[in-house]
Amino acid sequence: MPVVIRMARAGTKKRPFYHIVAADSRSPRDGRFIERLGYYNPLLPKDKPERLKLDLDKVKAWMVKGAQPSDRVMRFLDAAGVAKREARNNPEKALPRKERKAAREEANKAAEAAKAEAKAKADALARERAIAGAEKK
């Protein structure tokens, strides 16, 4: 029986509230669970301590028994210092399409050309001023 530590939604419509539970991975999200480990209220501001409550002793005990936390619960545990969450890479699908990539490269080239042209104009103006200043003396 693979056990997972995950969130089960318990709020009303448009008022989410989640219980953090240890459950059999085959049971439904909001269905049967083994033990309630805490809660999470996303509607509260991030600085409120009532936003997230976890019984860390129970969580550690379940993890020792082999329970796997979900991605979101792993974020909470990482913030609490219980478990280390490894950084994730964006998948290949997240890369922009070829057309967007080509358009971005063209825009970058145009911006670099405009920057070089502005620098050349500024240098020419500086030279003219230096020459005009030398002629006055």
pLDDT digits (tens, 9 = 90+) for 27-53: 998 999 999 999 999 999 999 999 999
**How much of the chain is helix, strand and coil, in % rounded to 5?**
45, 20, 35
Which of 2, 10, 58 is CA-nearest to residue 27? Answer: 2
Domain boundaries defined on the chain: 3-80, 92-136
CATH class of 3-80: alpha beta
pLDDT at 137: 62
The mean pLDDT of 63-79, rounded to a whole number, is 93
Give long-range contacts, CB 8 A cutoff, 24+ apart: 61-65: 62/3, 62/5, 62/22, 62/35, 62/37, 63/5, 65/3
